[in-house]
Structure 1
Amino acid sequence: MIDPFTASIILIAFLAFGGLSIGLAMICGASVYLILAGYDPSIASETLLQGLFHSYTLLAIPLFILAADIMNVGSLADRLLRFSQALVGRFKGGLGHVNVFSSLIFSGMSGSAVADAVGMGKIIINMMTKDGKYTPSYAAAITAASATIGPIIPPSIPMVLYALVSDQSVGFLFAAGLAPGLLMGVMLMVMNSIVAHRRGFPVDDGTPLREMPRTTLQAIPALMLPVILLGGIYGGVTTPTEAAAVAAFYALIISVVLYRSVSLRQFYSTLLGSARSTATVGILIAGALTFQYVVTRENVPDALAAFLGQYDLSPTGFLIAINIMFLLLGCILEAGAILLIIVPIFIPAAQALGIDLVHFGVIVVVNSMLGLITPPYGLLLFIVSSITKRPLLEISRDILPFLLALIGALVIITFVPGFVLWLPRLLGYQG
């Protein structure tokens, strides 16, 4: 008779590669495991409900999604883009710098790489390809690469998911992502400068100095959103979930009242879109919570720790192996699935080796984001390909320099833990 756990894994793989969402595939696999192992199948429902009801932090996810969608449908993205162009658009390869810089700002509001690529990405790609200044494939490549910063700089939906499985503070995880996110932005801008000089990209028209005050003033209400969001969390005024609610409400108020850029019909469509996105994430979380019960029953984390113990891996060796594995997994699995299914298996081993779990969380989230732009199956590559109508192979060639730059940033993030943890420690983290 086939082993129940093996049958569960085979079924999940078969359903997932057959086109079923990974969340539903995990629920089916866990149910089959319970039946074959002789357990009450209702345990799956009980585990799912307990996991959802006891995780107040999960409420932050739909609120961050709503805030990002409101900013996309309103004029906040346009104003932030004009502000970015005024600051960095006058340099060689200027619109490439604007692309990265606008992602740095927008990521402090959305917490989603896909929201960044779809929202800000459409606008900046049109700007870059207008008049033939940049090739569509290059515009698509740097847009996809800069979108990976979104879930690193707080707020971050993947960080919330990691907090769920690791029992770490969302606030400290957000703080730990700030310096790595800025480093990724700097690395992308350096690479953009190198490529711009090699390929002879033009110097774009900069914003006249006399218009700088007006452009900045128009962007201030939008720029205040991350200040309010993070100030509330680190000032002890709000929890991350409450801060997400404040962010969504603030985005709505300035879009409707101040900028008057969102109609009632647009707001209704935004709510529907946010609900669909939330449902997609919710099914994934539901499947992961159910499958985690199976993993726990099979003592997979303990078995893995014992297996690694045979090879006497050092913390450095473990982190190298983790980076290679998660980069490869990122090519075929979405970030949420990696964080909710794979990462919990390795957390006990990381703890046993003395690796700080906040630092470890940043490492796995960055790896998961790089997987979104790793050819040939990176999700963001498909998104920007659909926006530009350019072949995936063409975009993949242009994204390789940016992928190498981000891997360079990942090396620093992995092996210089003090760089990641200095801000959380400044805010009281004891790890």
Structure 2
Amino acid sequence: MELSGLILVLVFFALLAVNVPISFSIGLATLVTMLCSIDLIPAATTIAQRLAGGINSFALLAIPFFVLSGLIMGRGGIAKRLIECAMALIGMLPGGLALVNVLSCTLFGAISGSAVAATSAIGSFMIPQMEKKGYDRNFSAALTGAAATTGMLIPPSNILIIYAIASGGVSIAALFVAGYLPGILVALSLMLVCAGYAKLKGYPTEARLPLKVVVEKVLAAVPSLLLIFIVIGGIIGGVFTATEAGAIAVIYSLILSVFVYKEVSQSQLPEILLKAAETTAIVMLLIGASSAMSWILSYENIPQTISDFLMTLSENPFLILLIINLTLIIIGAFMDMTPAVLIFTPIFLPVATQLGMSPLHFGIMIVLNLSIGLCSPPVGSVLFVSCAVAKTTIEKIIKPLMPLYLAMFIVLMLVTYIPELSEFLPKLFGLY
């Protein structure tokens, strides 16, 4: 087992080091590891079966729907209206533009379900605006990247659906509701850093708008915000499943973007559909390849071995959970969220449950943890988008990113050790 695990890790990271796409790195590492135990034909057949079986899930049908609705809304003028709404509500506070950035990224990330889309859509407008008001460009880029990750916790979130599959049946509805408080806490912690940073640097506040203008801006954003309430309200109320909610989100976003806001023309729809298909294919290939790796991990009894090893390190649950979190943070800095959730959930979830942590609680913890990885160098995809928008480099935004990173880590510790932050709302609505 030790040899198989070592071969798996070495081959995987060696392939990543030479820029082999992560899905192929996962699949090839799995194949090489299998060849240590079985012949080529059975190994290749097993991988093919696991690739197909890994995506053979009704719950995964929600992903292409939410991807498509997010792309439509990303083109549909949603970002502009959310920014104007946030500006009207909190622009006059200390560090107003920075706070607007956080709130806009949070709302747009929740609506689109994509941290990368939130970074691009919000950052392309807010980073230049913040720079005009005297904000440091590198701080603005770091803030946009960090704030965009909150959409991974606030539904609709594709990564929560993937965790539900990987965990073996945690309710998607419960996970969706459980993500609200931690997501809001992350946003508030980033806002506190922004307020302190603005006070320290002496950044100006925005002028207070007349009440009539505030009401107009808020009302203009209401149709966009309604998507969150329609999706989560329908799921909580048992009106439709998460998959059906995805289809409804597509219909709603089409009506809103094409016929209400009129920001998306019918001629643009084929391009959007093609992009949605491309993104879905990438995600599904990652899921299939990760399922194959999860199988070989289970076949070689690696999760149980790691679980036993962690339990022998200490009898202190606080310390073991801290080790798991630090390990996941390192993993998140090098690996995309989807394969990380699919591969490491079967490894660490048994340890967490032995310590008395519920699968629901662990799910929120691992998604929040890996969300931090999205804005962590060297591989954080959100950082690359943010730097591209701000026309800066990752090296330059690391310093202003540190206080934001610390704030997110503190929230991660709170979520890890206070189960009620994840479980209160699902229990309140009778979902858990």
TM-score category of the 2 structures, normalised to the smaller one: over 0.9
**Counterparts of 1:183 and 1:103, CA distance in 2:** 14
Match of 2:301 in 1: 299
Q: Is the 8 A contact 2:177 2:232 kept in 1?
A: no
**Alignment partner of 1:10 is 2:13:** no
Residue 355 of structure 1: SS of its match in structure 2? coil
Deviations 1:6-42 (A, max 9, x none): 4443332222221111111222222233334225121
**Counterparts of 2:83 and 2:253, CA distance in 1:** 16
State how 1:284-295 maps to structure 2 within 5 Å: 284-295=286-297
TM-score normalized by structure 1?
A: 0.95
**Counterparts of 1:378 and 1:201, CA distance in 2:** 28
How many equivalent pairs are there? Answer: 427
Deviations 1:60-79 (A, max 9, x none): 11211111111111111111
State how 1:182-221 maps to structure 2 within 5 Å: 182-221=184-223
Deviations 1:382-408 (A, max 9, x none): 211111111222211111111111112
**Counterparts of 1:238 and 1:183, CA distance in 2:** 28
**Alignment partner of 1:25 is 2:25:** yes
Backbone CA RMSD of aligned residues: 1.7
State how 1:27-66 maps to structure 2 within 5 Å: 27-39=27-39, 40=42, 41-53=44-56, 55-66=57-68
State how 1:130-145 maps to structure 2 within 5 Å: 131-145=132-146
Match of 2:120 in 1: 118
**Counterparts of 1:198 and 1:179, CA distance in 2:** 29
**Alignment partner of 1:384 is 2:400:** no
Match of 1:159 in 2: 160
Give how far 1:180 is off: 0.5
Match of 2:319 in 1: 317
**Counterparts of 1:297 and 1:376, CA distance in 2:** 31
**Counterparts of 1:275 and 1:372, CA distance in 2:** 23
Q: Is the 8 A contact 2:311 2:320 kept in 1?
A: no
Q: Is the 8 A contact 2:142 2:401 kept in 1?
A: yes
Q: Is the 8 A contact 1:315 1:355 kept in 2?
A: no
Match of 1:94 in 2: 96
Give how far 1:336 is off: 1.6
Give how far 1:289 is off: 0.9
Give how far 1:243 is off: 0.6
**Counterparts of 1:248 and 1:207, CA distance in 2:** 34
Q: Is the 8 A contact 1:176 1:424 kept in 2?
A: yes
Q: Name whichever of 103-112 and 387-396 sits farther off.
A: 103-112
**Counterparts of 2:249 and 2:24, CA distance in 1:** 31
Q: Name whichever of 11-20 and 407-416 sits farther off.
A: 11-20
Give how far 1:3 is off: 4.9
**Counterparts of 2:188 and 2:313, CA distance in 1:** 37
Q: Compared with structure 1, are the counterparts of its residues 15 and 377 closer, same or farther at alpha carbon in structure 2 (3 Å cutoff)?
A: closer
User: What amino acid sits opposite 2:17 in the alignment?
Assistant: F
Residue 238 of structure 1: SS of its match in structure 2? coil
**Alignment partner of 1:148 is 2:153:** no
Match of 2:236 in 1: 234
Q: Is the 8 A contact 2:50 2:288 kept in 1?
A: no
Unaligned runs of at least 5 residues, structure 1? none
Residue 327 of structure 1: SS of its match in structure 2? helix
**Counterparts of 1:73 and 1:127, CA distance in 2:** 20
Residue 83 of structure 1: SS of its match in structure 2? helix
Q: Is the 8 A contact 1:331 1:371 kept in 2?
A: yes
Give how far 1:422 is off: 0.5
**Counterparts of 1:73 and 1:88, CA distance in 2:** 25
Unaligned runs of at least 5 residues, structure 2? none
Give how far 1:314 is off: 2.8
